[in-house]
Amino acid sequence: MSVYKRGNKYWIAFRFNHQRHRKASPDNSYAGAKAYEALIRQKLARGEPIVIVSEKDIAIPTFQEFSKKWFDVYVKTNNKYSETLNKESVLRAHLNPFFGVKLLDKINSFDVEGYKAKKLQAGQSCKSVNNHLIVLNKCLRTAQDWEVIKEVPKIKLLKVAPQKFDFLSTEECQLLLDSCEGILKEMVLLGLKTGLRFGELIALKWSDIDLRRKMATIQQSIARGRLGSTKSNKIRYVPLLEDVVEILRAKGSGDGLVFSNANNSPLTAVTCLRWLHRACERANMRAIGWHTLRHTFASHLAQKGASIVIIKDLMGHADVKTTMRYSHLTASAVRGTLETLNEDNGHNMATLLATERPKPVALIAGRAKILGKAQ
C-alpha cells in the first residue's frame, strides 16, 4: 500500500528508480495523501526537487472554482435536467456574484447572514432565498465529503409563511370545461380528475393507460422539453373515473403520447398555458395555471373527507408535509360530519340531552317525601 495510516497520521511510501520515499501527508486524510503521493511522483518524474509541502501551502479553491467542479462532476451526474438548469441559474445569478472570490474554507455563518440580508433587501422572497441557501449548503457539504474543507458553516433557513394555493369550486370546474373543446377539454378533465402534474400529463402514453381496469400508470414526466422520471422518482397508479375513461375511449388509442402535437411531438408548457388562459377568458374566470387543476383535485378530495395519506399517494408527494397544506379542508369535512351528531330525527341533540339529563338526587328525595306524606 502506498498510502497508510499510522496512529492518527496518514503517510505515503513508495519506490521510484530504486529509491524509497516515505513522507507524512500534509493533508491528514486518505484522499489528501493520495493527492500528495501523485504530486511527489510527478515531481520525481520531471526531475524536480521534492519540497515538503505544509498544510498551509495546499491551495484551497475559491467558491467559484469549486462550484464549477461540483456542478460538472456532481450536479450533472446526480440531478435531473430541470434541477441541473435550476442549480446552474442559482450559481450564476446569485451565489457566485456574492461568494465567488471567497476561499471555500473562509465562508462562515456571518457571510451567509449577509447574503440573506442582501437578497431580502433586493426584493427576493424568503422562499427564493431559501432555495439559494439549499444549493449553497449542498455545494459546501460536497466539499466536506470530498475533504476539500473540514467544516461547513451553519446555514439557517428563513421562516416562510404557509404557502397559499388557489383551487376551483365545483361550479367553476364545470364552467371551465364548458369553455374548452378538443384536446384542451380532454387535458383539463384529466387534470381535474387525476391531479397529474402538467409534466406528467403531457408525458402520458397510451401504454400507461388501462381502460379495462380504469387505471393510469404514472412513471414519466416532461420538464423543460426533456422526458424523465416523475418528480418523486416513483411510479404511482391513479384510478380513472368513468367520465375520464369515456373521453379517453372516444379519443381512441395509439402507440405514442396521449396528448401531442399534429406531428406526435410533445406539447409545450407555453402553448398549453396560452390555451388554458383563453378558455378562462371565454368562461369569464380569473386566469389560472395548470397546477391549479392539481390543487383542485386534492382540495375536493379533502373536502369530501379523504384521508391525508390517500391524498398523498394519489398526488405522488414524497413527503406528507407537502400534503398537509390541504389538512384544513379535511378538518372542515370532518367537522361537518360531526355536526350530524347534533341531529336525531330532526331534533337537536343538545336539546335531547337536556331533556334526558338525570334529575339531581336532592330533588328526587324531596319528591319522595311529598309522596310519603300523601299516602
Same domain, yes or no, for 103 and 11? no
Instruction: Classify residue 359 by its DSSP letter.
Output: P
Please compute the mean of the pLDDT values over residues 333-350 and round it to a whole number: 56
pLDDT of residue 215: 95
pLDDT of residue 51: 57
Give the end of a domain, one of 41, 57, 73: 57
Going from the C-alpha of 64 to that of each of 92, 115, 116, 206, 232, the distances in angstroms are: 9, 15, 19, 46, 30
pTM > 0.85: yes or no: no
Average pLDDT, the chain: 85
Query: Lowest mean pLDDT: which of 107-111, 187-191, 305-309?
Result: 305-309
Indicate the Cα dihedral angle 276, 281, 284, 287, nearest 10°.
Answer: 50
Whether 99 and 111 have beta carbons less than 8 Å apart is answered as: yes
Give the end of a domain, one of 332, 355, 370: 332
243: CATH:
1.10.443.10
pLDDT band at 176 (very low <50, low <70, confident <90, very high): very high
57 has pLDDT over 60? no
pLDDT band at 91 (very low <50, low <70, confident <90, very high): very high
Q: What is the pLDDT of residues 191-219, one digit of tens each?
A: 999 999 999 999 999 999 999 999 999 99
Same domain, yes or no, for 322 and 239? yes
Whether 104 and 63 have beta carbons less than 8 Å apart is answered as: yes
Same domain, yes or no, for 15 and 81? no
Same domain, yes or no, for 178 and 327? yes
Same domain, yes or no, for 174 and 309? yes
Residue 176 lies in a domain: yes
Q: How many domains is the chain built from?
A: 3
State which residues form the domain around 244. Answer: 170-332
122: CATH:
1.10.150.130
Residue 370 lies in a domain: no
Residue 162 lies in a domain: no
SS3 label, residue 14: strand
Residue 124 lies in a domain: yes
Residue 263 lies in a domain: yes
Q: What is the pLDDT of residues 106-162, one digit of tens each?
A: 999 999 999 999 999 999 999 999 999 999 999 999 999 988 898 999 999 999 887
Same domain, yes or no, for 204 and 79? no
Same domain, yes or no, for 76 and 45? no
pLDDT of residue 54: 47
- List CB contacts of 170: < 8 A, sequence separation 6 or more: 300
